[in-house]
Chains A and B, each alone.
Chain A
Amino acid sequence: MLFELNHVSKSFADGRRGRAIALDDVSLSLDAGQAIGLVGESGSGKTTLIRCALRLLTPDSGSVVYDGMNVVDAGRAELRRFRREVQPVFQDPFASLNPRMTVEQLVGEGLIVHGIEKNAVRRRDIVVETLEMVGLGARDLPRYTRSFSGGQRQRIAIARALAIRPRLLVCDEPVSALDVSVQAQVINLLQDMQRALGLAILFIAHDLAVVRHFCERIYVLHHGRMVESGDRASVFDSPRHPYTQALLGAVPIPDPAAARERRNLRKLNRLALGGAAFATETR
């Protein structure tokens, strides 16, 4: 058990209306080297969950435990270890990298901050090695992020995280902002890195197809509650919770015949509801 959230709850003050509950008794766990997925739409609370997981927010109740250490109460040394071994990869490749730092500075920053390699020359070597792992190279060292494409920036972000050899990557929608052909590249890269480095990955996404491809175990978050969890096969082939079922039913399948079938079923459904034209949103 490398990382777990135990019965975490978090609420925020919500203007005049009291408190809004972002997370309600949420639990998840992952083992070393495991890729688990968290599926959540907007408003599900996944942003809050990520922040709690990265110790950027303190839960109101419940605990966040990393490698036996209670993250919230951790002392300085333990916290430093946590910050070194747990790294984020964010969604927006344009906003997640400091525009005023060169690639070398970005990828090397972790090495400086954690005192891993103080010698500048050896540090550069590690940076180059990491860049090559993600498909970039030494020629990219002095460049600024603005001259790179979205997919390349995500690679830089991944390199930045990997340079200090973390044990857990927390990925928040890492491929959502990328072109389709590039998404596949980054997904494959993450998979390769996971296998090569034995990384555990917490992969948060709203795209169920990506989550299915990447993760062995899945959690489904809905309005702050964990409504379903299980391994890939059971969640996707026999979902139990109606929300999961609804979600799976709504994901468009790139297969015209199957899609047509579903469409006709939905149409029949709508007509059967007696002309109540369209299902409306719950919000």
Chain B
Amino acid sequence: MNLTIARGAFRTAPPLFDTAVYAIVALMIAMAVVGPMLAPDSVYVSDIGNALMPPSAAHWFGTDDQGRDVMWRVIAGSRATLLSAMLIVTAYSLIGVLIATLATVGPRWLDETLMRMTDIGLALPGLVVALGFAAALGPSLQSAIVAKAITGWPVTARLLRGIMRQTMTAQFVVGAQAMGVSRWRLMTRHVLPNSLDILVVKWAGDIGAAVLVLAGMSFIGVGAQPPSAEWGAMIASAKGYVANAWWVVAAPGAAIALAAVGFGLLGDILQVRRDPSLRGRS
């Protein structure tokens, strides 16, 4: 995600652009939380008579092959996709933090063991492993979530361990040690608070990526299954009709893209705010 290119493409002043990104992200989260409650029940009910109608005043994004309003399905499905993505990233981030903390503060052998496990985790292609898990657990949204959550931690763990080890050498940490601060307090009051701000950046960016992965898994068939309104599943069930009814794919596709880009840019914006010297780099 190159922030400068994006900003340059839109040719707006940075603050305006940032606000736009925040707005998009906020809107999507609001949609995910509130949307499914507002969606009419017809979202899950077939109405074949109305199938594959193009966008109109009644149905802003038309209807799909079952006659359901596409727009409302996208809104309803946002919970599945978006909140699931957030859940996944939050879960593996926490796992990563735990592992990194244990590796930093524990005995050498623990650090070695955990890092070798991390190496293995990094070496395995994440998506393939997740697919395997999901297939083994039986295809469903839940299994996709679990699969991605347990395969995403190595990167976070490695990143945070590096940062924590560096923070350990900071002078204020050394000073605290000399003062007699216990290891526990050292970690919780000194090292962790000063190591975790990068996590927020990664978290935001990762949600965008997770949306893509989740939708992708559903598209292949190992994630959410129809009639779930999950975006990837929507596209999967609509792929046969693309030639005649482009709108069935367009809406969920646009939603996926918007979510991925929006959160990705959010991550970049947070990174620049954290360290203004990075402005101008991706």
Q: Does A90 contact B (CB under 8 A)?
A: yes
Q: Which of B174, B179, B180, B189 contacts A101 (CB 8 A)?
A: B189
Docked complex Cα distance between A90 and B177 (Å): 13
Docked complex Cα distance between A17 and B161 (Å): 30
Check B178 against A56 for contact (C-beta < 8 Å). yes
Check B171 against A95 for contact (C-beta < 8 Å). yes
The proximity string for A residues 84-118 relative to B, scoring 1 for CB distances below 8 Å and 0 otherwise, is 10111010100111111100000001100110000
Residues of chain A lying within 8 A (CB to CB) of residue B172:
95-99
Check A56 against B193 for contact (C-beta < 8 Å). no
Docked complex Cα distance between A225 and B185 (Å): 37
Q: Which of B170, B180, B193 contacts A84 (CB 8 A)?
A: B180
Q: Which of B171, B185, B189, B194 contacts A90 (CB 8 A)?
A: B171
Check A113 against B181 for contact (C-beta < 8 Å). yes
Knowing A92-B171, A113-B185, the reply to whether A98 touches B190 (Cβ < 8 A) is yes
A221 → chain B closest CB, angstroms: 20
Check A109 against B174 for contact (C-beta < 8 Å). no
Interface size class of B (residues with CB under 8 A): 10 to 19
Q: Which of B170, B174, B175, B182 contacts A113 (CB 8 A)?
A: B182
Docked complex Cα distance between A206 and B159 (Å): 38
Q: Does A189 contact B (CB under 8 A)?
A: no
Docked complex Cα distance between A83 and B182 (Å): 11
Q: Does B176 contact A (CB under 8 A)?
A: yes
Q: Which of B171, B180, B185, B189 contacts A96 (CB 8 A)?
A: B171
Docked complex Cα distance between A160 and B174 (Å): 14
Check A88 against B178 for contact (C-beta < 8 Å). yes
Knowing A90-B171, A96-B172, A98-B172, the reply to whether A113 touches B194 (Cβ < 8 A) is no
Check A98 against B180 for contact (C-beta < 8 Å). no
Residues of chain B lying within 8 A (CB to CB) of residue A86:
178
A146 → chain B closest CB, angstroms: 13
Q: Which residue from chain B places its CB closest to the CB of A114 in the assembled complex?
A: B180
Knowing A98-B190, A99-B194, A100-B194, the reply to whether A113 touches B179 (Cβ < 8 A) is yes
Docked complex Cα distance between A122 and B174 (Å): 27
User: Which 8 pairs between the two chains have the least Cβ-Cβ distance?
Assistant: A83-B180, A95-B171, A96-B171, A98-B172, A100-B193, A54-B178, A88-B178, A113-B181
25 contacts between A and B (CB under 8 A): A54-B178, A55-B178, A56-B174, A79-B180, A83-B180, A86-B178, A88-B175, A88-B178, A88-B179, A90-B171, A97-B172, A97-B175, A98-B172, A98-B176, A98-B189, A98-B193, A100-B193, A100-B194, A101-B189, A109-B179, A109-B189, A113-B180, A113-B181, A113-B182, A113-B185
Q: Given A95-B170, A98-B176, A114-B180, list of 10 further CB < 8 A pairs?
A: A56-B178, A80-B180, A90-B175, A98-B193, A98-B194, A99-B172, A109-B189, A110-B180, A113-B181, A113-B185
